[in-house]
Amino acid sequence: MIVVFLGPPGSGKGTQADILAVRYGFYHFDTGARLRTEIASGSELGQTIASFTDNGNLVPIEVIRELVMTFMRNTDSRRIMFDGFPRNLEQARVLDEGLEELGGDLDFALYLEISEDSLIDRIVNRRFCPECGEIYNLGSRPPRQPGRCDIDGAGLYQRSDDTEEVFGNRLKVYLEQTVPVLEYYKARQRLYKIDGDQDIEQVAEAVAGLIGLECNDSA
């Protein structure tokens, strides 16, 4: 089974992808995490990537293509999901070509619908742990100790693009380039919409039910 999560920045794609990985054994391709790892390395490629992401722009297809193809060639998992990819029609076609090359096909494109007010709240209050990758929200899911990760005690940080100003640009880019992907998958009868304004567990239950998984249905 191959699944992609679609939705605007802050809609909860990463959280739901993590749940599928932990509960149902999906192998998780997280574009954002892979790109951030490269940025953190300080390499020339990482600096190039940062010049795009710091301003809320999309990373060039040449970089994404190599990340995706390497991922698919190196896994034999029966369950694969993509989070943060594809973000435009070109990327959607790259994914289709890669899957076809490997004899696979996309099963579900899950779109998390969410209000703009909820998005802004999630973005500006979002904090990350640099050690374990845990994500917090200062409003809805704060750490027990302010500024510290519950798991390892590391100091939390706010991404440079998690501000209301940069978010406005990110949302504009999303509307211009990602929304057409919804029509692409709708035409292929692969698009399924889920109410992303629900709490995390409600969304997780909706996702599992839609793609036909039970709580004890591990890989």
pLDDT at position 112, please? 94
Q: What is the mean pLDDT of residues 64-87?
A: 82
pLDDT at position 215, please? 53
Q: Is residue 141 a part of any domain in this protein?
A: yes
Residues contacting residue 216 through CB under 8 Å, at least 6 positions apart? none
* pTM recorded for the entire structure: 0.75
Q: Which of 79, 122, 127, 170 is catalytic?
A: 170
Q: DSSP letter string over 153-189?
A: -PBPB--TT-SHHHHHHHHHHHHHHTHHHHHHHHHTT
Q: What is the mean pLDDT of residues 80-101?
A: 88
- The total of structural domains in the chain comes to 1
For the chain, give the mean pLDDT. Answer: 87
Q: Is residue 65 a part of any domain in this protein?
A: yes
Q: Which of 34, 36, 122, 126 is catalytic?
A: 126
Q: Which two tokens stand for residue 181?
A: 């992907």
Q: Is residue 219 a part of any domain in this protein?
A: no
Taking alpha carbons only, the member of 76, 14, 20, 38 closest to residue 207 is 20
Q: Which of 30-34, 180-184, 196-200 is predicted with the least confidence, judged by mean pLDDT?
A: 30-34
Q: Is residue 205 a part of any domain in this protein?
A: yes
Res. 123: pLDDT tops 80: yes
Q: Which of 141, 159, 190, 193 is catalytic?
A: 159
Res. 12: pLDDT tops 80: yes
Domain CATH code at residue 125 = 3.40.50.300
Res. 183: pLDDT tops 90: yes
Strand locations in 70-133 (E): 80-83, 108-113, 126-128
Res. 218: pLDDT tops 60: no
Res. 171: pLDDT tops 80: yes
pLDDT at position 116, please? 83
CB 219 within 8 A of CB 26: yes
CA angle, 184 then 190 then 191, to 5°: 75
Res. 216: pLDDT tops 80: no
Res. 58: pLDDT tops 90: no
User: Is 144 tagged catalytic?
Assistant: no
Q: Is residue 76 a part of any domain in this protein?
A: yes
Q: What is the mean pLDDT of residues 180-200?
A: 93
Q: Is residue 167 a part of any domain in this protein?
A: yes
pLDDT at position 217, please? 59
Q: Which of 34, 36, 87, 122 is catalytic?
A: 87
User: Is 159 tagged catalytic?
Assistant: yes
For residue 78, give its domain range: 2-210
If one compares 31 and 115, the residue with the highest pLDDT of the two is 115
Q: Is residue 216 a part of any domain in this protein?
A: no
User: Is 190 tagged catalytic?
Assistant: no
Distance CA 68, CA 63 (A): 9
If one compares 155 and 37, the residue with the highest pLDDT of the two is 155
